[in-house]
Structure formats: structure tokens, C-alpha cells
Structure 1
Amino acid sequence: MGSVRILPEHILVVDDDSRIRQMLSRYFEEEGYRVSLAGDGQEMRECLDKHSIDIILLDLMLPGEDGLALARDLRARSDVPIIMLTGRNDVVDRVVGLEVGADDYVAKPFHLREVLARVRVVLRRRQPRPTYDAVDPTLEIYCFEGLRLDVPRRQLLSVDGSEILLTTGEFDMLCVLVKHAGRVLQRELLMDLTRGRDLDAFDRTIDAQIARLRRKIEHDPSRPALIKSVRGVGYVFSARTTRQDS
């Protein structure tokens, strides 16, 4: 039996500053990753057409199409993880980036070890939990309002079987809400369960994730019936949920 070669994860760095591109490239290659570089949106798309990319480090301030426009376009056609590189230490920039589909952000100037830590967390969350046939694993599948949440495969399917694309953060958020259906969850608890205090999460991040989820799963996001707000506390998943184990 021949051995299977497992390729290292592939990072695409999109930044118009060549010094930052080279710095990130050297660092992540030394850490064992494959790295491709792009200076603008056109080069980014060309790279995505040629390679299978596992995660994108995307600068907010780019010539031509900015990072927000590129993130919005990426998210409309792909669930590839995106970490925004923001040059301004502005909460509004971070929240807008998360609202358009980014999984996380890093403010410049940044420490390379922090970028590495965030990349590892996002990539780790995309990997399905391992199962072992010999142990007769329990596959967590939740059904609600015509939707099917397959936790091991990290998929959300509609009634017709088509997949509803969710970012890493959106999927993790939905899993937490569904698994605690009927229970009011404080923002602080949601931050701990989905992102971790070590990543400096903040309340507006949770609100942005919820808003994006509502747009994807609610019939009327302006009058949510699945994910309801509890004023001054947090959120509750109110749909009737059934669990299938196989």
C-alpha cells in the first residue's frame, strides 16, 4: 500500500505592501505552510483560480477594490476562511469586516505569533471532529425549520438538499445556539464558546455574527423567529430542534 502525501495548508496573503507580503511569506513558510502572494484583487482571483487555498489573509486597504469589497465577493461564492488585516485600529472597521464575512481580524502593526495563532484557530475550527467506525461514533445532526445541521461534516442543508454556505465563525455560532436551544446565552458566554477570550473578542463581534446568521437562515431577518434577542442579556435559539444520532 502506497503512502498518502498530506500537503501543508495553503495561505494566500493579499496586501499591496510588498514588505508585509514577504515578511508573512517567510514566517509562515518557516512554520511549514505553503504561501502564495497577491498585491490586489485581480492577482488574488488569479491565484484562487490556480490553487486550492485554505485561508486568506486580506488587507483592508487595497488599491482599486478594497478588502471589504473583496471579502463580500469571496463570501458570496466561497466559504474559504478570511482574516482581515486592518491598518486602522477602529472598531467600526473590524465589525464591518466581520459583517461582510471575514472570520477574524488582526490590526496592524501586528506580532507574527499573533497572526499565526489566529490562523491556527480558524483552520482548526474548519476541520471536522474525527470519528472512528470501531467505536460506533455518534454523529450529531440537528433538524429545525426545514434545515439540517450536520455537525461532523460542518454543513447546513436546506429542504432541497442544497448547502447554505457559512463562515467558520457563523457555523460555530449556530452550533452553540442549536445545542443550547431554549436557553438564553449571554454574549460573554457566546464569546467563550465560539472564539475564546485569548482572541480579544468583543460584544459587537457577536452581534455581527448573529446578524449574518439571521440573513442566511431566517425567513425575515428583520423579524427573527429562530434566533431571538434578549434585551440586555444575549440571544436564545427558539426553534423546535430534533437531534438525529446515527
Structure 2
Amino acid sequence: MPASVSSATMIDRPRRTGARTMLIIDDEASVAQTLGRAAEECGWRPRLTATGEAFRAAYRAEPPAVVIIDLALVGTDGIEILKFLAQEKSESLVLIASGFDRRVVEAAMRFGTEIGLDIGGALTKPVLVEDLKCALAAAGR
């Protein structure tokens, strides 16, 4: 099991938007559904996507306050999603959910920050519902 990168790395800052919308991209339906249910329990309105194309369309239709990105996706990867968000000049808080080694996740977080994204932290897969709830509570402040 890779080393844990917890939601304790969350950056505590006010959100630019009052909308409690969230966009999740994860090609594992059970993971996306678990994240979505936990988000709903915290008062968020999640939208679930499984492909890069669906994510891009959903993002453009309604930019969310929070984005949760899996780094390993079929047909694309989380880095491509980060690049897309930067091209869109996203103001969404970005959380990375991954089972990759801590160093890989930290590198992805640094890359996201370097390209101008608001990287709020990481969630280690399998994501514990309590970790997600803590991360969302911090994002909702």
C-alpha cells in the first residue's frame, strides 16, 4: 500500500464561489459513487464523470467549486485533466484522489500549482469517507 497523503494537506482558504458544486472524474464507478454519496452527505452537489470527454463537457456546462481527479484514467490521465483545467483558467479547488505512491501524487500537486491551479490536497485511494468529509468541510469554509 502506498504511503498516505491525507486531506490534512488541505489549504485553508475561502472559496471564490458560494456554489457547493463538485465534479468528480474517476473511471471506477463504485469509487465515483462513494465519493458522490459522501459529498452529498456534506451538502455538496456532485456530478460524476468517467471519461475525459464527459468531464470536459460537464466542466464547460457548469464550472464547479471543487474538482476531484483520479490520476489513473482509461483513455486519458489526471495530468491531462489538470492541463485542461489550466487552459480553462479554472478557479475550482482541485483535490487529487489516487492510489499512486505519495511521491507521484505530490509531483502531480506541484505540477497543478505550477500551472496556476488551486490545488487543495490529496486523498489516498481507497478514499476514506471521513477523509473526504474533512477535505470538503475545509473547502466549504
What's the CA shift string for 1:101-125, capped at 9, x where partnerless? 133111111211111211222343x
Q: 1:110 to 1:120 in 2, by over 3 A?
A: same
Contact 1:57 1:82 in 2 (8 A): yes
Distance apart, 1:27 and its partner CA: 2.0
What residue ranges of structure 1 are gaps of 5+ in the alignment? 1-6, 125-246
> What is the rounded CA distance, in whole Å, between the counterparts of 2:80 and 2:63 in structure 1?
21
Residue 90 of structure 2 is matched in structure 1 by 78
Distance apart, 1:31 and its partner CA: 2.4
Residue 128 of structure 2 is matched in structure 1 by 111
Distance apart, 1:91 and its partner CA: 2.5
Residue 48 of structure 1 is matched in structure 2 by 59
Q: 1:78 to 1:8 in 2, by over 3 A?
A: closer
SS of residue in 1 equivalent to 2:34: helix
> What is the rounded CA distance, in whole Å, between the counterparts of 2:98 and 2:38 in structure 1?
19
Contact 1:13 1:38 in 2 (8 A): yes
Distance apart, 1:71 and its partner CA: 1.0
- Number of paired residues? 117
What's the CA shift string for 1:41-80, capped at 9, x where partnerless? 1111110121231100100100122002211221242231
Contact 2:26 2:51 in 1 (8 A): yes
SS of residue in 2 equivalent to 1:62: coil
Q: Which of these residues, 98, 101, 107, is aligned with residue 109 of structure 2?
A: 98
Distance apart, 1:94 and its partner CA: 1.6
Residue 217 of structure 1 is matched in structure 2 by none
> What is the rounded CA distance, in whole Å, between the counterparts of 1:14 and 1:59 in structure 2?
6
Contact 2:99 2:124 in 1 (8 A): yes
Distance apart, 1:8 and its partner CA: 5.4
Compare relative contact order (CA 8 Å, sep 6+) and give the higher one, 1 or 2. Answer: 2
* 1:116-131 alignment runs, 5 A limit: 116-124=133-141
Distance apart, 1:81 and its partner CA: 1.1
Q: Structure 1 length as normaliser, TM-score?
A: 0.44
> What is the rounded CA distance, in whole Å, between the counterparts of 1:94 and 1:123 in structure 2?
23
Greater Rg over alpha carbons, structure: 1
Q: Structure 2 length as normaliser, TM-score?
A: 0.75
The yes-or-no answer on 1:13 pairing with 2:16 is no
Aligned structure 1 segments of 4 or more residues deviating by more than 4 angstroms:
none
What's the CA shift string for 1:211-239, capped at 9, x where partnerless? xxxxxxxxxxxxxxxxxxxxxxxxxxxxx
Identical aligned residues as a percent: 23
Q: Which of these residues, 45, 63, 76, is aligned with residue 34 of structure 1?
A: 45
Q: 1:92 to 1:28 in 2, by over 3 A?
A: same
Letter in 2 for 1:115: L
> What is the rounded CA distance, in whole Å, between the counterparts of 1:15 and 1:104 in structure 2?
17
Contact 1:10 1:53 in 2 (8 A): yes
> What is the rounded CA distance, in whole Å, between the counterparts of 2:121 and 2:79 in structure 1?
13
